[in-house]
Amino acid sequence: MLNFTVGPVMSEDYVLSIGAEQVPYFRTPEFSAIMKENESLMKEFTGADADGRVVFITGSGTASMEAAVVNLFDEKDKLLVVNGGSFGARFVKLCEIHGINFDEIHLEYGKSLTREELWQYSGKGYTGFLVNIHETSTGVKYDTDMIGEFCDKEGIFLVVDAISSFLADPLDMQKQHIDVMITGSQKALACPPGVSVIVLSSAAVKRVYDHDPKCMYLDLQDALTNGERGQTPFTPAVGVLRQIHARLCSIKEAGGVETEINRISGLAKDFRERIKELPFEICSDSLSNAVTPIHPTTVSAYDIFTVLKDEYGIWICPNGGDLKDKIFRVGHIGALTTDDNKTLTDAFKKLQERKII
């Protein structure tokens, strides 16, 4: 199998080998040391401030999205939510479920947020801002610098879901005025699914302790307290956290986050160059390095996904709902190479010869 989806993605052999080992007991100094180093490296890679903290949640990215909403906001807040696809809609739903006041900036699929659109919301008393900085369902990446500038000027607490963007696109929490950053193990971290990560600024840590969340498993106060000793409140996905540790250390040894971003950026540019002559349209006005969203002009997008999966052993990322037949996505994160790009584009050309596209 050759996997070009946006998660779970291909893992390196050293990550896979850890997954084949027996899972060790975790209430030990050895596991605590791993978790402390995981926290240190995540802070370094995200540009968090010295007094910031990191929480590892055993759950998908949506678990950490919900944890951020219920631990940082309540009925006294007024949030601004960017909704440009299925993941922006998820933040909207979380606010509705937990009774938090919000307005949404509703964007057309494939369209980014402009400065003019954003500044219409200036001076309206918002206390929080929720954004999936890379709306993975459509492939659109929003301007993190612009949003951070807006939130800093307005004194708004900024929560950024960078689940598919972390390690693929530049991100610096302090420079971009980000209070909370969320990511997941199965994206550019290239580990199995099961763990999501919340990086909190020092201001966010204070905010957590100032709130009284109505939850137990997602209680960030409990998680932060346990994290001081390198532990989690409940049994975590021990094996995945060990794989994350190996992956973070490998990124550090290879030159750090900038080197990893450049690698993924190179793969994205290589792929986009290779498909120029194919009957495809790249359907986003602001691209992440993580994924290329493609509208095939001659056939159903889902049909291409199905043929590649069933006949070529290649997985691209389909869409659902209204986008099912319109857009498929090709990921550039995980253990991929330019040779893999060639394999995929050669398969596209064979489909063209067969008049499937």
* pLDDT one-digit tens code per residue, 134-181: 998 889 999 999 999 999 999 999 999 999 999 999 999 999 999 999
Percent of all residues in the chain with a pLDDT value above 90, rounded to a whole number: 94
pLDDT band at 284 (very low <50, low <70, confident <90, very high): confident
Q: What is the mean pLDDT of residues 11-15?
A: 98
Please report, for residues 43, 302, 314, the alpha-carbon distance to residue 307 in angstroms, rounded to integers and kept in the order given: 42, 9, 9
pLDDT at position 247, please? 98
Q: What is the pLDDT of residues 184-204, one digit of tens each?
A: 999 999 999 999 999 999 999
pLDDT band at 322 (very low <50, low <70, confident <90, very high): confident
Q: What is the mean pLDDT of residues 112-124?
A: 97
pLDDT at position 109, please? 84
pLDDT band at 313 (very low <50, low <70, confident <90, very high): very high
Percent of all residues in the chain with a pLDDT value above 70, rounded to a whole number: 100
Q: What is the mean pLDDT of residues 96-102?
A: 97
Decide if pLDDT at 99 tops 90. Answer: yes
Task: Report residue 20 as tokens.
Answer: 């084949």
Q: Is the pTM of this model over 0.85?
A: yes
- Cβ neighbours, 10 Å, residue 29: 9
pLDDT at position 231, please? 98
Strand 157-161 to strand 128-132: parallel, antiparallel, or no bridges (unpaired)? parallel
**Contact 79/130 with Cβ under 8 angstroms?**
yes
